[in-house]
Amino acid sequence: MNYTPPLEIASSNHTKITASVIWLHGLGADGYDFAPIVEKLGLDHIKFILPHAPEMAVTRNGGYIMPAWYDLYGLTGNSQEDENGIKVSQQYIHSLIENEINHGIASERIVLAGFSQGGAIALYTATRYPQKLAGLLALSTYLPLKSKLSSEAHPANAGIPILMAHGIVDDVISLDMCKLSLATLQKHHFAVDWREYQMAHSVCIEEISDIRAFLQQVLP
């Protein structure tokens, strides 16, 4: 799989940077999608890594080729899932985490974040990652391969702080589907800070404020 180098946003004063956030975009977008929101956060001690998904044919979209973290067959609770594609993206995110660790950022100072399909990969990867992470931002998303969480979750991140946020009028990933993922996480004793907003499949000003507070809390 070919990956374009991620977009990186960081303060020019590199001595101030003590933490990293790896933030995954949604289906059909790219790493630049969340750059304006990162700039609004104004957190100069954090480096933001915004990777670009590779292009692939997406079954749900009629085989149209677009940036995607895995193939998508449907967005209902019983839709077929692209387990191999999810695991390929998981391994890529592992490489991005390892790169940050190799540059002197401890795993405990790294947050995984993602929106929609990117949030699904963030959720899947963080709950299974073998070293402790600082936190997890899951925005307008769901947990893929839910039935495998009990056997695959790694104890290193059993207590990971999770901010899970969703729009109550989301017509892409339904609120009910997201709540099924929330219930699965809670059943496995993950502590989830759940937020709902009066929005569709998007991000709102109130949510950006909550994201900033969450990152300040887990990456002081």
Task: Tell which residue, 134, 132, 148, has the closest CA to residue 184.
Answer: 148
CB 167 within 8 A of CB 142: no
Q: Quick one: 173 exposed, middle or buried, by C-beta within 10 A (0-12, 13-18, 19+)?
A: buried
Given the residues 25, 52, 166, 201, the one annotated as active site: 201
- CA 22 to CA 93: how far, in whole Å? 8
Active site residue 193: no
Q: Is 107 left (phi over 0), alpha (psi -120 to 50) or beta?
A: alpha
Phi-psi category of residue 63: left, alpha or beta, with phi > 0 → left and psi -120 to 50 → alpha: left
Q: Which of 20, 116, 140, 181 is catalytic?
A: 116
Catalytic-labelled residue, pool 30, 33, 82, 170: 170
Contact 100, 134 (CB under 8 A): no
State the Cα–Cα distance between residues 172 and 179, nearest whole angstrom: 14
Clarify whether 201 is annotated catalytic. Answer: yes
* Active site annotation includes 116: yes
Question: Would you name the residues annotated as active-site residues?
Answer: 116, 170, 201
